[in-house]
Structure 1
Amino acid sequence: MSDESAAVEQARRRIAALWGQAPAPTRGRPARITRDEVIEAGIALADAEGLDAVSMRSVARRLEVGAMTLYSHVDGRRELLDAMVDRAYADFTIPDPDLPWRAGLERYAREMWAHRRRHPWLADVNAWRLPLGPHVFDVEEAGYRTLVDTGLSARRVAEIVGVVQNFVLGFARSVAAEEAEARDEGIDYETYWRSTSDFWEHYFDPERYPSMTRLWSSGAFDEDQGPFDVPLSGLLDTIEVLIERAQAEGASPIPSYEDCMARYDEEVARQIEEFEGKA
């Protein structure tokens, strides 16, 4: 079997497991625990100690079973991590779909922030290869729904939701790093910056950094929120301008769900053909 064929087969197994269609396992002893218990144990371990702490053995120890028992429910660590990520996304509170776009998108972004604070280990998961699970897709759908009928083009909607996600997740990753360093060094955020007063007095050169000096003199940094909130207002203001411009220009609306379904099978077949042609 070629490397590509093996990758396709592995992807099929992983996706089937996420959607409850995995074949019956052929390894391991008769189940003493449930698949849900395995997944929840993995999440609890990752929440407490980070993703690196999760292995088949460590999860088995937490459940007080042998490692081989886990293979009755997951085919290895990779499949376990897929299930953990998708289950963690089930913990995401979806915004009310009837909210106006700005309120809905802000609530979506703040819930994403809170969600990553609850499960900081998700920062160590490759966001470009999230498992294709139902709960991951529920969260993606909720983000797109906030903007799909605003007059923005389809490409711009996808682009903006991606920008919002990356903004929030990047900020959450930075906060996680700050908290880890505070634990390791025993110095919190405010104490660290108070300890740097000598730098500002003896090393900072206003002539070398004139833009920074102008911002500081104008109070730009007077209301520093610290690392425990995500600043969204400026980003949302920018998106509002883009929506107003699209509406003023009379942009064509994104096709309705019914219109898309009328040609859905044809479009899927076309995209599969194009994808396979590039392989």
Structure 2
Amino acid sequence: MVEIDPADNTAPPAGGKRFAPLWEPPPAPTRGRPARVNRTQIVDAAVAIADERGLDAVSMRSVARALGVGTMTLYSHVPSRDHLIDAMIDRAYADFALPDPDLPWRTALETYARGYFSLLRSHSWLLTVNTWRMPLAPHVFDADEAAFRILVDTGLTANQVVETIGIVRQAVSGFARAAAAEIADERDQGTDYEAYWSAQTDFWENTFDPARYPTMTRLWTMGAFDDAATPFDLRIGALLDTIELLIERAGGSGTAVPSFDECVRMSGPDPAGCADVDTADA
């Protein structure tokens, strides 16, 4: 049973105050006895718990226990469980191996996808995080910037860039979720992926009816399932092919996304003003 501290459920501060410590962690106290733990140790301990037992196992009390300190010791560094989870996500995203900006878009996008898959495999608890409410955190922003940069100058519209990256992320998270489920089944059932399917020979020989499933039979005859992705593979070649066709069809005919310099020149230092730039001559 997960232990929950009442203070863990404290509503986070409104506005940017919730995320400010992710960008500029508060300085360590200069008075009194030296702190027994610091913010980095607290976040790392919480990530370790989540990696081993899932996000539900993380509470201020469980982290304090792992560090061998009292629960109240944590609150001088992390005000609540919500703040702690924000910091955990940002810490996990620091492990995201991002593509080189100079790579061709297709190579870069595949590198990004594989990096994301590796991230979700290493920190599978990220699959339980609401991706529509990700913390406004530097390493999360670094990953977003790297992803959008891959496609922003390919001729796709701004909306297509954002939507396409979203589709890639959803595809990758689906593979990662399948891998996590397979690991759980292997642990609970004591049978790995290969052994499970090898044990199903009797079904294919005596139960499966090819006439009822002619399409599957045709594909099987051609060996299509021999090379199909397993839960531990990331096969996104077909998706990349589709994106390539989308880019070719765009052919630069869409509304170009203005450069950063154009945004600054036309709208001042606030990049959000990019929407006001007239791109008719871009």
How far has the Cα of 1:49 moved from its partner?
Answer: 2.1
1:23 and 1:9 map into 2 onto residues whose CA distance is: 19
Per the alignment, residue 244 of structure 2 pairs with 240
* Match runs of 1:8-157 below 5 Å: 9-20=13-24, 31-157=35-161
The AA in structure 2 aligned to 1:205 is D
TM-score after normalising by structure 2: 0.85
Question: For 2:99, what is the secondary structure of its paired residue?
Answer: coil
Deviation beyond 3 Å, 4+ runs, structure 1: 6-13, 21-25, 264-271
Per the alignment, residue 259 of structure 1 pairs with 262
Higher helix fraction: Structure 1 or Structure 2?
1
How far has the Cα of 1:200 moved from its partner?
Answer: 1.7
2:145 and 2:228 map into 1 onto residues whose CA distance is: 33
The AA in structure 2 aligned to 1:123 is L
What CA deviation, in whole Å up to 9, does each residue of 1:66-109 have, x standing for no partner? 11101011112111111000111111122110111011111111
Q: CA RMSD, aligned part only?
A: 2.5
* C-alpha distance 12-22 of structure 1, shift in aligned 2 (>3 A): farther
* C-alpha distance 21-115 of structure 1, shift in aligned 2 (>3 A): closer
What CA deviation, in whole Å up to 9, does each residue of 1:174-221 have, x standing for no partner? 100110110111000011111222222232222322221211112111
2:169 and 2:52 map into 1 onto residues whose CA distance is: 24
Structure 1 residue 174 and structure 2 residue 178: aligned? Answer: yes
TM-score after normalising by structure 1: 0.86
How far has the Cα of 1:264 moved from its partner?
Answer: 5.4
- Size of the aligned set, in residue pairs, is 262
How far has the Cα of 1:20 moved from its partner?
Answer: 2.3
1:93 and 1:52 map into 2 onto residues whose CA distance is: 26
2:85 and 2:268 map into 1 onto residues whose CA distance is: 32
Aligned sequence identity (%): 56
* C-alpha distance 269-232 of structure 1, shift in aligned 2 (>3 A): closer
Unaligned runs of 5+ in 1: 1-5, 272-279
Question: For 1:152, what is the secondary structure of its paired residue?
Answer: coil
1:100 and 1:74 map into 2 onto residues whose CA distance is: 41
1:270 and 1:242 map into 2 onto residues whose CA distance is: 24
Report if aligned partners of 2:117, 2:173 keep a CA contact under 8 Å in 1.
yes
| Between 50-59 and 260-269, the greater mean CA deviation after superposition | 260-269
The AA in structure 1 aligned to 2:257 is I
Report if aligned partners of 2:46, 2:88 keep a CA contact under 8 Å in 1.
yes
Question: For 1:198, what is the secondary structure of its paired residue?
Answer: helix
